[in-house]
Chain A
């Protein structure tokens, strides 16, 4: 009999410490399922960021490393170049990937480094208590923009997929969401493509995932999902921004 809703072998038994309705847990599950389905769990080295998902190094049932805030792509590069047979995934939040670690992200993409970046965009700094993120929407409230993000004083958000699509390097750039069952299935498909690209030595893949942070947003889990559908995905449109596999055909 097939186990439908048990814990995938890609996750450890450790109880996850995310808030109710948090998107991190959903993405963890998708990644864990793929580690098993693609038979890469025993080749995988995962990277846990500094952020709410820092404990991912306890959750994923594979070799893991926990680097400084934002440096996941550099650490992944080091491991991949030293051990080309390993499958590297760097799991990162928006502060990690698009603020403090912007340079590492951009340059790993420009080198078309053969690694997979999993980018959780929740438009907020979850772990430190809901401060403004590089992805906080114009007008959106955070603990350091209590009146809402003022684009005159605090500038515009960074659209990571669009930014990286301006480079020749990256092989695959896609934006998904985990607010509905349909979007979750699409996210899993994108993550699968991203891992397969690496297995086939195609190079750099980044999967951006719009992800609920009910706590940071001051919403209920239901409201948070709805907000992604009605507001966040309007500012950050879903879809592929680069897929060189299609051009190769």
Chain B
């Protein structure tokens, strides 16, 4: 049986990054994710990896561009304002088709906002984020276990499609202590396959160039269409989600991350009152599990979207349901976290008490 340890979410995340065979981390301190670089600095030292505390998030993402282009697994971690600073770099990385892992422990915004948990960077994470036509694969863990497991998954997807990947979490998940099962053997970075784009010096092969620009007439358009096809492939193959109690449900809550945990508790309370409530938890935010939502919407009249923002994922839900169902919303922006009774109240408003 795999080893089990009681851990903070943030520490589980660090172990997951090390276990995924990543030996390169660059980042700049920001609350609420400081435990990540702090613990990472110790762990990278132990495993002989690279840890860089940078002068800014701009430097961090560009160091990742370099390390990713050199063919190694590279990670940065930050929170909302820092992720905003990284957007130009992420756009270049996407434009050069380089896999890297970016972690956003989202906090309340806009601006300096606050350091409370939030989901207000959903648009930024799932609609591109920086300039140009691109998307980033976005995973939304909701437990310390998934914080441990998702870095590996994120690297696998990033490398399969040669695209940056994001893990979108919040401070609540990071601060929580939970048992974590070490479900896979640590990956030896030396045993990962060589990358055919990696900048390593051109001994014995033609030189390689990593870039995002192409000024030849029509060529950049071609390249964007090629990347568009890649994105269509990702959308087709990689929609991930979990459903609970959806078979007999009259109402389905859609929520991810911390909100999914809150929603799950509310669902149980509702079931105790004989209200037939189900839950769909998106695991990939991009690609959004639109096929499942579309399928459910053929039968489900009411969806309740719960988010820690003013309503961002709700747009993707509306689109997926093609407006066939009624979409209800419970949101808490600015660092507010909805409570299970709050969600239950909303459920009762929609379904009427005890049906």
Where the two chains meet, the residues of A that have a C-beta atom closer than 8 Å to any C-beta of B are 41-45, 48, 54, 57-58, 61-68, 71, 74-83, 85-87, 103-104, 106-107
Which of B59, B74, B203, B209 is within 8 Å of A82, CB to CB? B74
Q: Does B201 contact A (CB under 8 A)?
A: yes
Q: How far is the CB of B62 from chain A (nearest CB, A)?
A: 4
Q: Is the CB of A83 within 8 A of B89?
A: no
Closest residue on chain A to residue B60 by CB atoms: A74
11 contacts between A and B (CB under 8 A): A42-B202, A45-B199, A57-B211, A64-B207, A64-B211, A68-B92, A83-B199, A86-B70, A86-B199, A103-B55, A107-B54
Q: Is the CB of B88 within 8 A of A74?
A: no
Question: Which of B50, B207, B208 has the most CB atoms of chain A within a 10 A radius of its CB?
Answer: B207
Which residues of chain B from 65 to 91 have any CB-CB distance to chain A below 8 Å in the complex?
65-72, 74, 88-89
Told that A74-B58, A83-B201 touch, could you supply 16 new A-B pairs with CB distance under 8 A? A42-B202, A45-B70, A45-B199, A71-B62, A74-B59, A74-B63, A78-B67, A78-B70, A79-B199, A81-B24, A82-B72, A83-B72, A83-B200, A103-B59, A107-B55, A107-B59
Per the bound structure, the CA–CA distance linking A44 and B200 in Å amounts to 8
Q: How far is the CB of B24 from chain A (nearest CB, A)?
A: 6
Where the two chains meet, the residues of B that have a C-beta atom closer than 8 Å to any C-beta of A are 24, 26, 50, 52, 54-56, 58-60, 62-72, 74, 88-89, 92, 96, 199-204, 207-213
Given A78-B24, A82-B50, A71–B200 Cβ distance below 8 Å? no
Per the bound structure, the CA–CA distance linking A88 and B65 in Å amounts to 14
Which of A67, A81, A86, A104 is within 8 Å of B201, CB to CB? A86
Q: Is the CB of A43 within 8 A of B203?
A: yes
Q: How far is the CB of B206 from chain A (nearest CB, A)?
A: 10
Per the bound structure, the CA–CA distance linking A227 and B333 in Å amounts to 60
Q: Is the CB of A82 within 8 A of B65?
A: no
Closest residue on chain B to residue A100 by CB atoms: B58
Per the bound structure, the CA–CA distance linking A103 and B209 in Å amounts to 26
Q: Is the CB of B199 within 8 A of A76?
A: no
Q: Is the CB of A79 within 8 A of B67?
A: yes
Closest residue on chain A to residue B49 by CB atoms: A81
Q: Is the CB of A78 within 8 A of B64?
A: yes
Q: Which secondary structure characterizes the binding site on chain A?
A: mixed
Given A81-B24, A81-B52, A65–B69 Cβ distance below 8 Å? yes
B-chain residues with CB within 8 Å of residue A107 when the two chains form the complex = 54-55, 59
Q: Is the CB of B201 within 8 A of A68?
A: no
B-chain residues with CB within 8 Å of residue A71 when the two chains form the complex = 58-59, 62, 65, 89
Per the bound structure, the CA–CA distance linking A71 and B54 in Å amounts to 13
Q: How far is the CB of B130 from chain A (nearest CB, A)?
A: 10
Q: Is the CB of B26 within 8 A of A78?
A: yes
B-chain residues with CB within 8 Å of residue A65 when the two chains form the complex = 65-66, 69, 96, 199, 209-211
Q: How far is the CB of B100 from chain A (nearest CB, A)?
A: 10
Q: How far is the CB of B59 from chain A (nearest CB, A)?
A: 4
Q: Is the CB of A64 within 8 A of B66?
A: no
A-chain residues with CB within 8 Å of residue B67 when the two chains form the complex = 78-79, 81-82
Q: Is the CB of B201 within 8 A of A45?
A: yes
B-chain residues with CB within 8 Å of residue A45 when the two chains form the complex = 70, 199-201
B-chain residues with CB within 8 Å of residue A85 when the two chains form the complex = 201
Closest residue on chain A to residue B98 by CB atoms: A65
Q: Is the CB of B62 within 8 A of A104?
A: yes
Question: Which of A54, A66, A106 has the most CB atoms of chain B within a 10 A radius of its CB?
Answer: A66
Which of B52, B56, B66, B212 is within 8 Å of A79, CB to CB? B66
Closest residue on chain B to residue A57 by CB atoms: B209
A-chain residues with CB within 8 Å of residue B88 when the two chains form the complex = 68
A-chain residues with CB within 8 Å of residue B63 when the two chains form the complex = 74-75, 77-78, 81
Closest residue on chain B to residue A104 by CB atoms: B59
Q: How far is the CB of B114 from chain A (nearest CB, A)?
A: 26
Closest residue on chain A to residue B91 by CB atoms: A68
B-chain residues with CB within 8 Å of residue A83 when the two chains form the complex = 70, 72, 199-201
Q: Is the CB of A78 within 8 A of B56?
A: no
A-chain residues with CB within 8 Å of residue B26 when the two chains form the complex = 78
